[in-house]
């Protein structure tokens, strides 16, 4: 039924039972135990009917077999912690701070060797594929919004056994499908755009090969990282509108990025949809959309960026992202991100009327103009 459908149609229809008398929407199944004899023994090891439906939905979007987790970090952890002692892990220079924490701890404990590579340095990643055991790519990246040349990196010759994993949280399957480009693993923090309403924690890992699927499923069980019934239900409900939400959010992001780039109180805008972005051409070569994440620097000191975030009335001053509402924050305030440019504001663009968003941003910038010269 869902074969060969467009993505917008697939997200609405996949994961439904279509059995006479059954609910139209997969209901939450708040159960940990099941009657025997049956293949489903226990929710921690075998999930529930609700998580099955969510895995069908995300797996179809990512073009592979999906496993869902209690959070994005739980999903990332099963991939990163598969590395044996002495292995080499390649990560971006400025990855998501949770991933950076796992990677740095592993290096400190002597578990693995760590390579930190500029995400935009494609040749460095191609070279690393010949020596590293795991390439962890985050594209677009947080919070500089750089885009990796996924076709070139995923298609590069590799050392036997080398795994390429892509954190595609910012792009979502609407903008890119890394498995189609040659990646082995695609990971999402479903807390963000997939869930889309800032009301749940969830993560997913989708793989191209059954051997990795079996390994990650075992690791999920051992780590106790199974998603809850309500969270699975809410994530399914959120994904149903992923196509229309991303269409509107990307439309808004493109307009805001172009206007901010021309604003006298903004020194730089980082959004792959504008020509001035250093990885714009790479993104345009394979992505089907530029996403709804951007960052920009205000003029003046870091405190001016804080003041702009506090002065908005429509845009919410909050740290997470991917919801229907627009949020922004000064990223250098976040633990582990202190090395970011002091005036950098990261913004997750929502689905509000773009003119309301623009009016709000401009009044926040205008109300803090005096700080730009202090």
Q: Which domain-ending residue is among 205, 239, 273?
A: 239
Residues 39 and 53 in one domain: yes
How many Cβ atoms are within 10 Å of 68's Cβ, its own excluded?
Answer: 32
Q: Determine the average pLDDT of the residues in 167-183.
A: 98
Residues 235 and 254 in one domain: no
Q: How far apart are CA 207 and CA 220, in angstroms?
A: 14
Residues 30 and 132 in one domain: yes
How many Cβ atoms are within 10 Å of 18's Cβ, its own excluded?
Answer: 8
Residue 157: inside a domain:
yes
Catalytic residues: 44, 96, 167, 192
Is the pLDDT at 20 greater than 80? The verdict is yes
Q: Determine the average pLDDT of the residues in 80-105.
A: 95
C-alpha Rg value of the chain to the nearest Å: 21
Q: What is the CATH number of the domain that holds 171?
A: 3.40.640.10
Q: How far apart are CA 174 and CA 196, in angstroms?
A: 13
Residues 90 and 204 in one domain: yes
Is the pLDDT at 143 greater than 60? The verdict is yes
Q: Are 371 and 300 in contact (CB under 8 A)?
A: yes
Mean pLDDT, the chain, whole residue set? 96
Is the pLDDT at 236 greater than 70? The verdict is yes
Residues 227 and 328 in one domain: no
Residue 2: inside a domain:
no
Lowest mean pLDDT among 223-232, 267-276, 327-336: 327-336
Residues 256 and 224 in one domain: no
Q: Are 347 and 326 in contact (CB under 8 A)?
A: yes
Q: How far apart are CA 105 and CA 87, in angstroms?
A: 14
Distances (CA, A) of 250 to 124, 202, 352: 30, 23, 11
* CA-wise closest residue to 16 among 53, 41, 59: 53
Q: Determine the average pLDDT of the residues in 1-11.
A: 83
Residue 123: inside a domain:
yes
Q: Are 323 and 350 in contact (CB under 8 A)?
A: yes
Kindly indicate the confidence band of residue 149, based on its pLDDT and cuts at 50, 70 and 90.
very high
Residues 231 and 155 in one domain: yes
Residues 180 and 328 in one domain: no
Is the pLDDT at 336 greater than 90? The verdict is no
Is the pLDDT at 373 greater than 70? The verdict is no
Residue 309: inside a domain:
yes
Residue 1: inside a domain:
no
| Range 287-321 burial, b when 16+ CB lie within 10 A, else e | bebbbbbbbbbbbbebebbbbbbebbebbbeeeeb
DSSP codes, 230-298? HHHHHHHHHHTTHHHHHHHHHHHHHHHHHHHHT-TTEEEEE-TTSTTSTTHHHHHHH-S---SEEEEEE
pTM score above 0.75: yes
Residues 197 and 335 in one domain: no
Kindly indicate the confidence band of residue 254, based on its pLDDT and cuts at 50, 70 and 90.
very high
**pLDDT value, residue 1:** 47
Q: How far apart are CA 116 and CA 240, in angstroms?
A: 37
**pLDDT value, residue 334:** 85
Which of 3-17, 124-138, 331-345 has the largest mean confidence?
124-138
- Asked whether the bond before 198 is cis by omega within 30 degrees of 0, the reply is no
Residues 222 and 345 in one domain: no
Q: Determine the average pLDDT of the residues in 339-364.
A: 97
Residues 187 and 129 in one domain: yes
Q: Determine the average pLDDT of the residues in 46-59.
A: 96
Kindly indicate the confidence band of residue 345, based on its pLDDT and cuts at 50, 70 and 90.
very high
| Host domain of residue 164 | 7-239
Residue 60: inside a domain:
yes
Q: Which domain-ending residue is among 239, 272, 295?
A: 239
Q: How far apart are CA 216 and CA 186, in angstroms?
A: 12
Q: How far apart are CA 363 and CA 69, in angstroms?
A: 41
How many Cβ atoms are within 10 Å of 358's Cβ, its own excluded?
Answer: 17
Residues 259 and 213 in one domain: no
3-class DSSP state for residue 198? coil
Distances (CA, A) of 27 to 9, 22, 24, 79, 247: 20, 10, 9, 29, 27
Kindly indicate the confidence band of residue 31, based on its pLDDT and cuts at 50, 70 and 90.
very high
What is the DSSP pairing of strand 163-167 with strand 185-188?
parallel
Q: How many domains does the chain have?
A: 2
- The separation between the first and the last C-alpha atoms of the chain, rounded to the nearest angstrom, is 62
Sign, Cα dihedral of 249, 255, 261, 263: negative
Continuous segment of H or E residues that includes residue 104: helix 97-108
Q: How far apart are CA 58 and CA 324, in angstroms?
A: 19
Give percent of the chain above pLDDT 90: 93
Q: Which domain-ending residue is among 214, 239, 264?
A: 239
Q: What is the CATH number of the domain that holds 331?
A: 3.90.1150.10
């Amino acid at each position: 039924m869902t074969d060969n459908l467009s993505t917008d149609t697939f997200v609405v229809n996949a994961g439904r039972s279509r059995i006479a008398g059954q609910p139209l929407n997969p209901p939450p199944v708040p159960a940990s135990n099941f009657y025997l004899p049956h293949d489903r023994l226990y929710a921690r090891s075998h999930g529930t009917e609700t998580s099955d439906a969510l895995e069908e939905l995300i797996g179809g979007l990512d073009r592979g077999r999906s496993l869902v987790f209690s959070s994005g970090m739980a999903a990332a952890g099963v991939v990163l912690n598969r590395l044996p002692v002495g292995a080499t892990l390649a990560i971006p220079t400025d990855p998501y701070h949770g991933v950076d924490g796992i990677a740095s701890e592993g290096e400190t404990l002597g578990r693995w060797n760590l390579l930190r590579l500029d995400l935009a340095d494609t040749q460095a990643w191609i070279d690393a594929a010949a020596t590293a055991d795991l390439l962890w790519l985050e594209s677009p990246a947080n919070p500089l919004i750089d885009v990796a040349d996924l076709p070139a990196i995923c298609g590069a010759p590799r050392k036997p056994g080398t795994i390429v994993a892509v954190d595609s949280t910012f792009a979502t399957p609407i903008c890119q499908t890394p498995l189609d480009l040659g990646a082995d693993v695609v990971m999402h923090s479903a807390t963000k755009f997939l869930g889309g309403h800032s009301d749940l924690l969830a993560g997913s890992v989708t793989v191209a090969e059954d051997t990795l699927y079996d390994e990650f499923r075992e690791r999920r069980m051992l780590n106790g990282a199974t998603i809850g019934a309500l969270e699975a239900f809410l994530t399914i409900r959120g994904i149903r509108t992923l196509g229309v939400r991303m269409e509107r959010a990307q439309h808004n992001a493109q307009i805001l990025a172009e206007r901010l780039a021309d604003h006298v109180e903004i020194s730089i805008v980082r959004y792959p949809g504008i020509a001035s972005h250093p990885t714009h051409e790479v993104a345009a070569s394979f992505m089907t959309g530029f996403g709804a994440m951007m960052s920009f620097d205000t003029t003046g000191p870091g405190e001016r960026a804080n003041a702009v975030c506090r002065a908005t009335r429509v845009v919410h001053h909050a740290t997470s992202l991917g919801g229907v509402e627009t949020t922004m924050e000064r990223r250098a305030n976040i633990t582990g991100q202190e090395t970011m440019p002091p005036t950098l504001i990261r913004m997750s663009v929502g689905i509000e009327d773009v003119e309301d968003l623009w009016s709000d941003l401009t009044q926040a910038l205008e109300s803090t103009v005096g700080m730009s010269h202090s």
